[in-house]
Amino acid sequence: MTRPTFSTIQAMEILDSRGFPTVRVFVELSNGIRASASVPSGASTGENEAVELRDQDQNRYFGKGVCQAVTNVHQLIAPALLGMDPFDQALIDQQMIAIDGTKNKSKLGANAILGVSMAVAKAAAKASHLPLYRYLGGAGTRRLPVPCMNIVNGGAHADNSVDFQEFMAVPIGASSFCEGLRAVAETFHVLKSILNQRGLSTGIGDEGGFAPNFSSNEDAIETIIQAIEQAGYKPGEDISLALDSAASSFALKENGEYDLNRSGAGRMDRGQLIKLAGSWIDKYPIISWEDPLAEHDWEGFQQFTARYGDKIEVVGDDIFVTNTEYIARGIKEGSANSVLIKLNQIGTVTETIEAIRMCREAGWRYFLSHRSGETEDTFLADFSVAMDGGHLKSGSASRSERIAKYNRLLEIEQELGTTAMYYW
């Protein structure tokens, strides 16, 4: 059998779930197989993320167009990759990194590079007649992630009185992915009726969670716990909570303090914020806490992890940006015990897998994640199963760009049948 090679690589500008441009890439192989992939986009981005190339042409989409990234795929990436073997994922990614030549992918754009990188993986999976999760994960692939469903949105993802960005319901006690998904989706619907009864808004934020004006951050947590109970589940046993403070978004640049001004909780220093988190960990069934401190506050992360790391998963997102350079420092300094994994923070499939490898070797967990700006692409669902990560966040039980990933996981679970595994 002659191995297929790339015959066409094309890109176009599409819209993400917030209505802003992003990149979609199409590839075709010499045997006629086609695949496409679409790139997500964040709002509370870490400073050291790979660069999402935007046109800065104020006459189009307020400067957010991605025509240059599309052109880069056509003029700089495609000529180098045509004729290459789609099974050479690492070599292809390496090639694009070399053409880019910058540390943060600012020449080609991480959006251009990742679109191609994901499309390559999809084409190779099709060419080997395997589902993407099995192609990327291998013969032993059988574990579904626990869906950490973001049912209350705050911070940069909503215009409400909640400082912390994400409040997730985590179905740790379920026997399968579909039962877990049902538990948290039911909780989401009960939460809606509780908010209605209280006269609070049931409008949703960027990731599909409710975004009302709670009286405090604690009120948000307590209302979710009430929803879990009313839905017939036991908090801490059936469903636990995961938080993403996204603390970089309320950190003050000038003095390293934190300003919880949306809720009116006011300013506090690192020590006070860590103490506040501790009182919540004692009081509420919190199992995982992401970005409890800002991306520059390495010392704060270290203190937080030293105090609570044996009780909960401490996840670094903005601080590590899926980059092995920062993850290595975190492992050395004990800054966390888990890494949030976002493909577009680093910009290639291969480097994302490297980040995960580093976590595994250190005995750290890793938490697969969508972005707040998403598309209908379900790559992440297959990727999460392939990486055996154990948990995933893909937003709430609303907005089709979020549900598409959960639905794809339902399909995968059905395909795996009795061989499917599920646990926290």
As annotated, the active-site residues are 207, 342
Of ligand PGA, Zn ion, none, which one does residue 324 interact with (CB within 5 to 8 Å by kind)? none
Least distance from C-beta 340 to ligand PGA, angstroms?
6
Burial class (CB in 10 A: 0-12, 13-18, 19+), 206: buried
Nearest to 147 by CA among 364, 371, 396: 396
Name the residue number minimizing CB distance to Zn ion. Answer: 317
Residue 402, helix vs strand vs coil = helix
Of ligand PGA, Zn ion, none, which one does residue 248 interact with (CB within 5 to 8 Å by kind)? none
Nearest residue (CB) to Zn ion, 89 versus 323 = 323
Nearest residue (CB) to Zn ion, 4 versus 155 = 155
Contact 96, 117 (CB under 8 A): yes
DSSP lists the bridge partners of residue 146 as: 391
Note the residue count of the chain. 424
Nearest residue (CB) to ligand PGA, 48 versus 372 = 372
Least distance from C-beta 49 to ligand PGA, angstroms?
8
Of ligand PGA, Zn ion, none, which one does residue 240 interact with (CB within 5 to 8 Å by kind)? none
Nearest residue (CB) to ligand PGA, 43 versus 410 = 43
Please list, in sequence order, all residues whose beta carbon lies within 8 angstroms of the beta carbon of residue 114, skipping any fewer than 6 positions away: 39, 343, 344, 347, 348, 349
Nearest residue (CB) to ligand PGA, 73 versus 368 = 368
Q: Using CA atoms, how far apart are residues 33 and 369, in angstroms rounded to an integer?
A: 28
Residue 249: enclosing H or E segment and its boundaries? Answer: none
Residue 7: enclosing H or E segment and its boundaries? Answer: strand 6-15
Least distance from C-beta 246 to Zn ion, angstroms?
5
- The C-alpha angle with vertex 110 and arms to 105 and 116, in degrees rounded to 5, equals 120
Least distance from C-beta 340 to Zn ion, angstroms?
6
Least distance from C-beta 248 to ligand PGA, angstroms?
9
In the sheet that holds 21-29, the strands lie side by side as 6-15, 21-29, 34-38
Q: Write down the H helix ranges in 284-399.
A: 298-308, 324-333, 343-346, 349-362, 379-387
Residue 302, helix vs strand vs coil = helix
Of ligand PGA, Zn ion, none, which one does residue 369 interact with (CB within 5 to 8 Å by kind)? ligand PGA
Please list, in sequence order, all residues whose beta carbon lies within 8 angstroms of the beta carbon of residue 193, skipping any fewer than 6 positions away: none
Binding residues for Zn ion, per CB under 5 A? 244, 246, 317
Least distance from C-beta 361 to Zn ion, angstroms?
23
Nearest residue (CB) to ligand PGA, 282 versus 376 = 376
Binding residues for ligand PGA, per CB under 6 A? 42-45, 165, 244, 246, 317, 340, 369, 371-372
Nearest residue (CB) to Zn ion, 244 versus 351 = 244
Least distance from C-beta 146 to ligand PGA, angstroms?
16
Name the residue number minimizing CB distance to ligand PGA. Answer: 42
Please list, in sequence order, all residues whose beta carbon lies within 8 angstroms of the beta carbon of residue 230, skipping any fewer than 6 positions away: 190, 194
Structure tokens at 205: 């934020």
Nearest to 117 by CA among 3, 11, 7: 11
In the sheet that holds 338-341, the strands lie side by side as 146-147, 391-393, 365-369, 338-341, 313-316, 286-290, 240-244, 166-170, 149-153
